[in-house]
Structure 1
Amino acid sequence: MKVRPLLLCILLMVLMQGYLLTAQEIKPHEVKRIMKKVADWQINHFHDTYSGNKDPHNPKAWPNGALYIGMLKWAMVSDEDKYFQWLKEIGNTNKWKLHDRIYHADDHTVGQLYLSLYQKYKEKKMLKPTKRQFDYVLLHPAKTSLEWASAYHQDRWNWCDALFMSPPVWAKLYNLTGDDKYLNFLMSEFKATTSFLFDDEESLFYRDESYMEKRDHGTKIFWSRGNGWVFAGLVNVMNELKKETKEYKYFLRIYKKMAKKLIQIQTPEGHWPMSLLGEEFYPTPETSGTSFHIYGLAWGVNNQILDRSIYEPFLIKGWNSLVDHITDDGMLGYVQPIGAAPGEAFADQTEVYGTGAFLCAGTEIYKLYAQP
């Protein structure tokens, strides 16, 4: 039987793709080695300055809050108690208090550390300040508009980053107390934000209202890290809810839409462009958004929500692209500095939240390949 040249080429391509996939097989012990190197580097450089700031980030501020979330996940798989002890010392230094602004979602982020440690150690001091502040918010809810130009607008979740920062804390409080008031607030505010910022046509979130009518080289502006904040936030909320509940299913619907979209727009190199629909205009790698996307997608495969046969090739490319941007001493490069839109990233620049995102991604990748 003669094999047509075109068919032969296709067969060879399929075989080559299978070979490359096998050649890039991810080994769990190597994932842990890399994660440890990155985690240790960041702890040693915790008091450095980043994003052009003159001073280190406040230990209660959101950049460090995002780092702690990743470090917690690493601590759970590392088999070394020193990471939990480092995180406990952070909490003790902060006196287990949230950051300064009562309503602002960014200043709630560190609460995810406190409540996670409370789940582990059951020390009431880890829970009380966050619960007290959130009870105050429930009694005095913000009445402001979600419109960007309105007064006190960030007293509510009117920018997409907020969906990573505050909602998981509300979900944890509900999980820990069983009190529906925390869940009801979470659902009401999350639905309001989603209705306002989610683009049904693209299955992505605008950073805030000010970007809805803007165009970058004719394309809609969907910031990679901004959507990474949302995607990871969805995962962190669902981790606190029972799968059979209507609330879990609400978040799951959004998650699945975003997951489907994300694999359609991953670059051939494995990262996601800083402007998700503008790859040709933003060719520079960016690792914080990419890490959150990998975290969310790998979590979906690990929880039998996403089909491994479909999503695994994207995870392999994404993880390998992240590893390629880690320096020999353990710094994760190409982390876009603090901002609100697509911009620049550099091989020799990092940020604490980038490390946190990477450790989130690595934990789920490790779980995926450590399975027997």
Structure 2
Amino acid sequence: MKHKLIFKIAVLTVLFSCLGTSKMMSQKVFKPSAIKASMLKALEWQEAHPIFALAPTDWTEGAYYTGVVRAHKATGDQVYMAALKNQGYHNNWETYTRLHHADDVAISYSYLYVDMVGGRKDFVDLKPTADFLNAHLYEPDVWKAGKDKSSMGRTILWWWCDALFMTPPVLNLYAKHTNQPKYLDEMHKFYTQTYNQLYDKEERLFARDMRFVWKGSDKDAKEPNGEKIFWSRGNGWVISGLALILDDMPKDYKHRAFYENLFKELSARIVELQPKDGLWRTSLLCPEAYDHGEVSGSGFHTFALAWGINNGLLDKETYLPAVKKAWKALEKCQHEDGRIGWVQNIGASPEPANKDSWQNFGTGAYLMAGSEMLKLQLK
């Protein structure tokens, strides 16, 4: 009897010890030191494993180094600034080549940041960025002219929702840095074109492009469960781009209310669609299509929601539980060596991911999310 009692006490001791350890481990993930360590591991792994779709100046690198910018802005750690300066220098501060394609100036977000806070004022050459933006906005273009009749709806400059992450934050920051508000007005003109073409006011989500704008009879624009097709990363591009825009947009800008209202509306919808495990599925309205979490979209959503709390646009009591749940789930997707897994590959619609799938923009999304988690100062 005595031995049985001792055994039960031992079991209970181990059980409560494990529960306590589990709770401690659960809370540790929110400690600033743990977040910083995780972010640095992600950066170090990504810098050691470069990857890009087209060139070191393409949109994938633009998204990744936007994450590095936000990491430096949140931590002040010179490791991030060194990475930013190194890539810009080796790129000769160039954009990619397609002057009328929004993707190809995303890299300039990092160049502008380095020029603003990186020290030496003669280090960054912003002429390639200026040349790109002026050509992009003011030169004639087949898309702007509405002459491309493809099924994607290439009849406006920014005809796909991803574009709202790629160029608008650059234009916004360029306007701020150079004190030329005309670029902000141009941004607003083209942004509202995309909003009017792709935003579904009923679902409060963005279609990726016109292929997924359902007109009542197009079966290809519906999921197997009958819902419209809305891509998690596509909406992640939009909502995180909005946070970047609002972060640098003048408080008194005449159209600021449009961006704040859209940000709040998207945020409310994104939280409604968050699965119980914290990570959003690649298909927002048909999560069962690929029933596993995905990091790039989830990272962008987490960044935006945490940014909204940190900047007073979102109610902390309402949104913090979703943000905490998301970060805990994101952190579990990091491999021991620092690599960020569960990232959907390059695409334009919902597709699966797996534990070992990674992309540089997924690391960028993770760094962006971590940067705002640090500012929440959770314990």
For the superposition of Structure 1 and Structure 2, which TM-score range results when normalised by the shorter chain? 0.7 to 0.9
Larger radius of gyration: 2
Verify the 8 A CA contact 2:152 2:209 in the aligned structure 1. Answer: no
Q: Quick check: 1:230 aligned with 2:229?
A: no
Q: How does 1:105-144 map to 2 (within 5 A)?
A: 105-120=102-117, 121=119, 122-123=121-122, 125-142=124-141, 143-144=144-145
Superposed CA deviations along residues 146-189 of structure 1, whole A, max 9, x for unmatched, are 97617993871000000000111111111112223211210100
Aligned match of 1:297: 305
Aligned match of 2:154: 153
Deviation at residue 77 of structure 1 after TM alignment: 3.5
Deviation at residue 101 of structure 1 after TM alignment: 0.4
Q: How does 1:1-372 map to 2 (within 5 A)?
A: 24=27, 26-46=30-50, 48=51, 57-120=54-117, 121=119, 122-123=121-122, 125-142=124-141, 143-145=144-146, 149=150, 153=154, 156-213=157-214, 214-217=221-224, 218-369=226-377
Identity of counterpart residues, as a percentage?
A: 36
Matched letter for residue 40 of structure 1: E
Could you list the runs of 5+ residues in structure 1 that have no partner in the other structure?
1-18, 50-55
Verify the 8 A CA contact 1:221 1:275 in the aligned structure 2. Answer: yes
Other structure's SS at 2:353 match = coil
CA distance in 2, matches of 1:355, 1:91: 18
CA distance in 2, matches of 1:291, 1:147: 33
Superposition TM-score, scaled by structure 1 size: 0.87
Aligned match of 2:15: none
Deviation at residue 364 of structure 1 after TM alignment: 0.2
CA distance in 2, matches of 1:234, 1:211: 22
Superposed CA deviations along residues 202-247 of structure 1, whole A, max 9, x for unmatched, are 1100000011120011111000000000011111111121223232
CA distance in 2, matches of 1:260, 1:294: 13
CA distance in 2, matches of 1:144, 1:195: 17
Superposed CA deviations along residues 10-61 of structure 1, whole A, max 9, x for unmatched, are xxxxxxxxx9899647211111111111111111112x57xxxxxx651101
CA distance in 2, matches of 1:125, 1:24: 41
CA distance in 2, matches of 1:166, 1:200: 23
Verify the 8 A CA contact 2:151 2:210 in the aligned structure 1. Answer: no
Other structure's SS at 1:326 match = coil
Verify the 8 A CA contact 2:66 2:109 in the aligned structure 1. Answer: yes
CA distance in 1, matches of 2:280, 2:266: 13
Verify the 8 A CA contact 1:21 1:313 in the aligned structure 2. Answer: no
Aligned match of 1:13: none
Verify the 8 A CA contact 1:146 1:156 in the aligned structure 2. Answer: no
Superposed CA deviations along residues 285-313 of structure 1, whole A, max 9, x for unmatched, are 10000000000000000001111111111
Verify the 8 A CA contact 1:274 1:342 in the aligned structure 2. Answer: yes
Verify the 8 A CA contact 1:60 1:110 in the aligned structure 2. Answer: yes
Aligned match of 2:17: none
Say what the alpha-carbon RMSD is for the aligned residues: 2.3
Other structure's SS at 2:208 match = coil
Matched letter for residue 58 of structure 1: A
Verify the 8 A CA contact 2:267 2:305 in the aligned structure 1. Answer: yes
316-325 or 70-79, which deviates more = 70-79
CA distance in 2, matches of 1:74, 1:360: 7
Verify the 8 A CA contact 1:146 1:157 in the aligned structure 2. Answer: no
Deviation at residue 80 of structure 1 after TM alignment: 3.2
Matched letter for residue 364 of structure 1: E
CA distance in 1, matches of 2:108, 2:365: 17
CA distance in 2, matches of 1:177, 1:209: 35
Deviation at residue 344 of structure 1 after TM alignment: 1.0
20-29 or 101-110, which deviates more = 20-29
Call closer, same or farther: CA 1:270–1:138 in 2, change over 3 Å. closer
What is the number of equivalent residue pairs in this alignment?
Answer: 346
CA distance in 2, matches of 1:247, 1:237: 12
CA distance in 1, matches of 2:318, 2:258: 23
CA distance in 2, matches of 1:88, 1:316: 32
Verify the 8 A CA contact 2:333 2:341 in the aligned structure 1. Answer: yes
Superposition TM-score, scaled by structure 2 size: 0.86
Call closer, same or farther: CA 1:245–1:81 in 2, change over 3 Å. same
Verify the 8 A CA contact 2:153 2:209 in the aligned structure 1. Answer: no
Call closer, same or farther: CA 1:360–1:23 in 2, change over 3 Å. closer
Other structure's SS at 1:34 match = helix
